[in-house]
Amino acid sequence: MQFKERLLLENRAWSETMSDRDPEFFSRLRNGQSPEAFWLGCSDSRVPAEQLSNASPGDLFVHRNVANVAAIADDGFMSALEYAIGVLEVRYLIVCGHEGCGGIGAACSGQPTGMPHVDAHLSGVTDMCRGHAGPDVDTAAPAHVNAMVHHNVARQAAALAELALVREARVKPTVLGLVYAIDRGTLECICEHKPHDGPLSRVA
């Protein structure tokens, strides 16, 4: 069976299963959305936000990119964030990274990937990784890459919490930084910025 046919067949099976479980499920979705959280995650196919958080359609407003970067200069990211805060009035902003992230590994190497858009997107992450490199550091070691995953999540969460868009929101969201362990399937919360916490310091 070709990919397209399999995709459509699986969709039909899923829709029928959901309708059997809850006949009003799709009718409720048609009436609008009120997600509780905006989720900034990595594009990695192994870390789908809804599945790993056991969420249902309508629970999360999701934006994903390489290495879960809060890309302030990217209209795609900022428009999603702006809509989540200004229209949906989400109560949580989540930055979710994952261990073994290929984007973080590329940034740790300090070498161009040969993909100009990827390199530009990861430039800030590469600078962060460079600050944690040294002659005695094996930047390719999984433990080091995973440490940089944690640092990156903390940096991106702090950057989100400092945005005027976030701090001046009518419904002020809490910012959570999560790291997903692919080999265990578990999430860990590594940082939290609640509304009215005052000035925030960046994590280097």
**What residues act catalytically?**
42, 44, 46, 98, 101
Handedness of CA 161, 74, 107, 111 (dihedral sign): negative
- Other C-beta atoms closer than 10 Å to the C-beta of 71 total 21
For residues 66 and 76, give the distance between their C-alpha atoms in angstroms, rounded to a whole number: 13
Tokens of residue 150, six digits: 């944690």
Q: Are 175 and 93 in contact (CB under 8 A)?
A: yes
Phi, psi of 194 (to 5 degrees): -90, 155
For residues 99 and 106, give the distance between their C-alpha atoms in angstroms, rounded to a whole number: 13
**Of the candidates 94, 72, 96, 90, which has an alpha carbon nearest to the alpha carbon of residue 169?**
90
- CB-neighbour burial class of residue 195 (10 A; exposed 0-12, middle 13-18, buried 19+): middle
